[in-house]
Copies of this chain bind each other. A is one copy, B any other.
Amino acid sequence: MPHTSDHPSTSARRRRTPDERREEIVEAATAVVAEVGYANATLTEITRRAGVSKGLLWHYFSDRDEVMQHAVGHLAGRLRAALVSDVDVSAPVPDVVRAVFARTALFTRTHRQELRALDEIVHNLRTSEGRRRVTLLDYEDVYADHVALLGRGQRDGTIRAGDLRTFAVGYQALIDGMIAHLQAHPDADPLTYADGVAELFLHGAASR
């Protein structure tokens, strides 16, 4: 057993694998960005937060942009996975819609920091020419999911006729708006709010 030390206590823990280190740094970046904003999120502060010397960051990432890009990937992956794993997409469409709103609303209470950081980074990550690196165009696959879901609803009669893309974009807009609103109002009850918005959308998109 070549383990150096097994107690996972204070400072003398076992050496991390490269992936663990990368993740530690990326998570520190997330935390710092969420707290002070993208522009003020210093690499020095990020390494400090990760409990790591400054130079090490460049052993794992080539520049600030790369750190942030990894952070986006990490965050988006975690959020999406948690959502998908928790909603039964084969249920009746209105139920799925309600569940998505509800789950997303709860997310704002359990993943406040991550959502803040994600928003922050997405809004600020740029290419070297100054254009946004992540745009709404990257929503396309999300829209595709929505279109598929709502299309099924149209076929089984739970969603009224109408342009699916408009529905999908409206659906996503309500989700994003709900997230922003709940983030800004930490005291609001997420579930009652989610219900309200879900009903608004379903009344708008449902047959009858």
- How far is the CB of A35 from the nearest CB of chain B, in Å? 6
Q: Given A124-B38, A173-B176, A174-B177, A196 and B135 touching (CB < 8 A)?
A: no
The answer to whether A177 and B184 touch across the interface, beta carbons within 8 angstroms, is no
User: What sequence of 0s and 1s flags, for each residue 183-201 of chain A, a beta carbon within 8 Å of any chain B beta carbon?
Assistant: 1110000000100110111
Decide: A166 and B36 in contact? CB cutoff 8 A: no
Partner of A197, one of B132, B166, B197: B166
The answer to the question of A203 belonging to the interface, with a C-beta cut-off of 8 Å to chain B, is yes
Most chain B CB within a 10 A radius of its CB, from A35, A166, A167, A185 = A166
12 new A-B contacts at CB < 8 Å, known A35-B130, A173-B180: A38-B39, A39-B124, A40-B126, A123-B124, A137-B185, A173-B173, A174-B177, A199-B204, A200-B204, A200-B205, A203-B205, A204-B204
Contact residues of A with B, CB < 8 Å?
A: 35-40, 119-120, 123-124, 126, 130, 132, 135-137, 160, 162-163, 166-167, 169-170, 172-174, 176-178, 180-181, 183-185, 193, 196-197, 199-205
